[in-house]
Amino acid sequence: MAEGRLIFITGTDTGVGKSYATGLLARAYLELGLRVITAKPVQTGATEPEDLLLHRRIMRLPPDPPELLSLTGPYLFSYPAAPATAAKKEGRRVEIARIVEALRRLRATYEVVLVEGAGGLFVPFTEDHTFLDLIQLFLSPVVVVSAARLGTINHTVLTLEALRLRSLVIPALIYNLYFAEDEYLAEESLSDILRIFGPLPVLRMPGFSPENPPVATVREFLTKTPGLRP
């Protein structure tokens, strides 16, 4: 069987909707007939793998059994901080080699592996590696999730430029409208992002609805977006 595709999901900041977006993409790929799994290599600020549980809820799948969870969510820390900081607080360490091996094993089984980061690109995963460093080890495409709120132009363009400087492919921007309080401002901000950075496929993600996600819209987007097409 051919090796599957890794697609990384990053955000312009913490709390911008990465987990919902990851679960939504996974559900859409499932409905397109692909073998799909999501991974959250490091979860912090929780006593259970909350983001993976949200993914599975959206995907309409049960929680991962322990043998799969050891690959999809190898690190869990209760302290709410960057992975390296949370690990240090608990007297532990995040090993980048363990994460790399887990993702390689998932890629050997699934056609699409969606990998959600923690916070933004430069969040320290280990003492020596950021999330961006992990992405670059695989040279995989990166979907960026951005929140439609004040400040998004700067945050989004900086994130996109950081990926471009590493010569990484950005197949799409997911623009999370859950935070939009002013429709005009949200659309003008998105226009400015694309004017400054350049053309980019955009998926406008409405609201937060794990029980009734807009799967049809996302399926259509995936089939029309070259870097994400099944």
Residues designated catalytic = 40
Amino acid letter at 110? Answer: Y
Strand runs (DSSP E) across the chain, as ranges? 5-11, 36-39, 42-43, 75-76, 112-116, 142-147, 173-176, 202-205
Instruction: Compute the distance between CA of residue 88 and CA of residue 97 in angstroms, rounded to an integer.
Output: 18
Query: Which class for 229: exposed (0-12), middle (13-18), buried (19 or more C-beta within 10 A)?
Result: exposed
The helix/strand/coil state of 202 is strand
The residues, ordered by sequence, that sit 6+ positions from 220 with a Cβ below 8 Å of its Cβ are none
Instruction: Compute the distance between CA of residue 196 and CA of residue 194 in angstroms, rounded to an integer.
Output: 5
